Amino acid sequence: MDQRVVAEFKKRKQPINLAIVYVDPDAFADNFLGWLEIASYVAALRAGEAEGSVDGSPPKLSPQDLKSGVVVKYAADAVFAFCMTATLNADKAAVDKMEAGLTEAFGAEFPGFAALWPFRSSLDAPVTLDDAVGQAGKRMLVGDAPPPPMRAKEYWMTGLRFFEKARGSNFSSEIMFPLAKWHRDRWTEAAEKGVAFLHHIEDNVPILREALSETRNDQPFIANLLLKAAPAVDVELTDETQGFLRSLARRL
């Protein structure tokens, strides 16, 4: 990849990265189009469907381009990532303001608008990972916590779904830090105030506290915590899920 394109990519991605990390709806809306332009341009270059520009900058996107599959894919990923970090901060107002800002700029059917549906709709039985994350996020945004006996298991299930979704995003690093902090806060609460609702307390609470003693808020911390907390909430991991978490929990 031409270094001028790489530099332009970094220049345009950093502001939207920060908007997602700090849950800043104004900065997100302001930098949304610039991100879509460079992301779709890089995808076209890699596919051999575009030629490099003199200075590495991408072409402007037409109204028709904004409806193309590639642009919508990048847009939906960014919108969903913003909703995830807003959810982890229980900031419903930020999601509303982000939607309003993009609607003002692009209209009601802005690129990626469908990524909001899982966070807005009411689904009796979520089918996809997006559905599961969005429905959990919808409850979290309005402070709808499950009753104490069910809380720790709900934290575990929600944490795993968010973790899986974050790993597939172009904003994985930006989601992972607040997600790790969310895990730490919820499981510290479970180990201190919700002990009575955990399974096999004498065995599992020391293991849980040991996992929480890790000071780094990152992907291995989340994977290890999910792995170690599963028995405490009576979750029997499949071999596939256990292998997945073990591989990600390793520190090199």
Q: Are residues 106 and 155 in the same domain?
A: no
Position 249 in a domain:
yes
Q: Are residues 159 and 64 in the same domain?
A: no
Q: Are residues 106 and 159 in the same domain?
A: no
Q: How confident is the model at residue 204 (pLDDT cuts 50, 70, 90)?
A: very high
Q: In this predicted structure, what is the pLDDT of residue 218?
A: 97
Query: CA gyration radius for the chain?
Result: 20
Counting Cα atoms < 13 Å in the Cβ hemisphere of 228 gives 24
Q: Are residues 3 and 103 in the same domain?
A: yes
Last-in-domain residue among 119, 137, 162: 119
Q: Are residues 151 and 74 in the same domain?
A: no
Q: How confident is the model at residue 251 (pLDDT cuts 50, 70, 90)?
A: confident
155 sits in which H/E element: helix 148-167
Domain count, the chain: 2
Q: Is the pLDDT of residue 72 over 90?
A: yes
Q: Are residues 93 and 7 in the same domain?
A: yes
Q: Are residues 112 and 168 in the same domain?
A: no
233 close to 159: Cβ distance less than 8 angstroms = no
Last-in-domain residue among 85, 119, 153: 119
Q: How confident is the model at residue 2 (pLDDT cuts 50, 70, 90)?
A: confident
Q: In this predicted structure, what is the pLDDT of residue 52?
A: 79
Q: Are residues 78 and 166 in the same domain?
A: no
Q: In this predicted structure, what is the pLDDT of residue 88?
A: 97
Counting Cα atoms < 13 Å in the Cβ hemisphere of 32 gives 30
Average pLDDT, the chain: 95
Last-in-domain residue among 59, 84, 119: 119
Q: In this predicted structure, what is the pLDDT of residue 83?
A: 98
Q: In this predicted structure, what is the pLDDT of residue 12?
A: 97
Position 24 in a domain:
yes
Position 139 in a domain:
no
Position 101 in a domain:
yes
Judge if pTM exceeds 0.85. Answer: yes
Q: Are residues 154 and 112 in the same domain?
A: no
Name residue, tokens 């920060």. 18
| Distance in angstroms (rounded) separating the CA atoms of residues 76 and 78 | 5
Q: Are residues 232 and 152 in the same domain?
A: yes
Q: In this predicted structure, what is the pLDDT of residue 125?
A: 87
Q: Are residues 4 and 110 in the same domain?
A: yes
Name residue, tokens 């939207």. 16
Position 136 in a domain:
no
Q: What is the dihedral of CA 82, 86, 188, 155, to 10 degrees?
A: -80
Structural domain harbouring 9: 1-119
Position 4 in a domain:
yes
Contacts for 6-13: CB closer than 8 Å, 24+ residues apart: 6/56, 7/56, 8/38, 8/55, 8/56, 8/57, 8/58, 9/38, 9/39, 9/42, 12/37, 12/38, 13/38, 13/39
Position 51 in a domain:
yes
Q: Is the pLDDT of residue 1 over 80?
A: no
Position 125 in a domain:
no
Q: Are residues 109 and 184 in the same domain?
A: no
